[in-house]
Amino acid sequence: MVRATPTGSRRRGEVVPARRGEAGFTLAAMIVTLAVMSVFLTVAVQTATFQRRREMEEELIFRGQQMVEGVRLFRARFGRFPLSLEELYKAKPRCLRKKWVDPITGKADWVPVFLGQEGQGLPGQGGGPAPVPTPTPRAGFGGGVPSPEARGPIIGVSSRSCESSIKMYEGRSRYCDWKFIFDPQRQGRGGVPPPPPGPQPTEPPLPPKRK
């Protein structure tokens, strides 16, 4: 005897197709969610890249000033400016804490700035007596970017990268135009601006000794 199957009931194993309206809504919701996540991810990556570039620019300024400090120490110890960056690196006693790497290029490929290249006069003119220099060649300190063979008195460095910067440094917006130079007429020790005029803080006096 065959049992009758009630109307509207489904048989065992029979697949009931999903409603088209529900399937379309689910797909649209997934697309919107992926689009929103993509926007947030893009903004996060751009923000991180921007912040990383700002940090690299601050590090470039710090390391450039360290190179200037090395030039200052070399001049103070030997009575002249270094003729090459290699001479500055290998000076004994050391004038640099280490061989600083350009954070923009990731290499120690600084471009030397030669005396006279940036309109820089002889140190000591108008800023006190200059040290007695030893004879040095004067070739290669004209304007523009020096050639790899150029040699001469080095007063500073600049980055080899000419990418546009985020920060404006002394009115310049390309890294290769950021010149870190030793100028005793406008700078204090190590290329750091001198302290402002006025009384400077002093160490507190020692307490009197007990009898």
Q: What is the pLDDT of residues 172-181, one digit of tens each?
A: 999 999 999 9
Look up the pTM and report it: 0.59
Dihedral angle of Cα 26, 27, 32, 33, to the nearest 10 degrees: 70
> Above pLDDT 90, what percent of the chain?
44
How many other CB atoms are there within 10 angstroms of residue 152's CB atom?
22
Two structure tokens written together for 42: 């893009």
CA distances from 63 to 40, 97, 101, 137, 207 (A): 34, 11, 8, 27, 41
Q: What is the mean pLDDT of residues 178-201?
A: 61
Q: Kindly give the pairing relationship between strand 164-169 and strand 172-174.
A: antiparallel
Give the end-to-end CA distance of the chain in Å, rounded to a whole number.
Answer: 125
Q: Which helix (H) or strand (E) segment is 43 a member of?
A: helix 20-78
pLDDT at 166: 92
129 DSSP 8-state letter: P
Mean pLDDT of the chain: 75
3-state secondary structure of 110: coil
Give the rounded percent of residues in the chain with a pLDDT score beyond 70.
Answer: 62
Q: Which of 64, 72, 43, 46 is nearest to 155 (CA)?
A: 72
- For residues 51 and 49, what is the distance between their CA atoms, to the nearest angstrom? 5
More confident residue, 20 or 5: 20
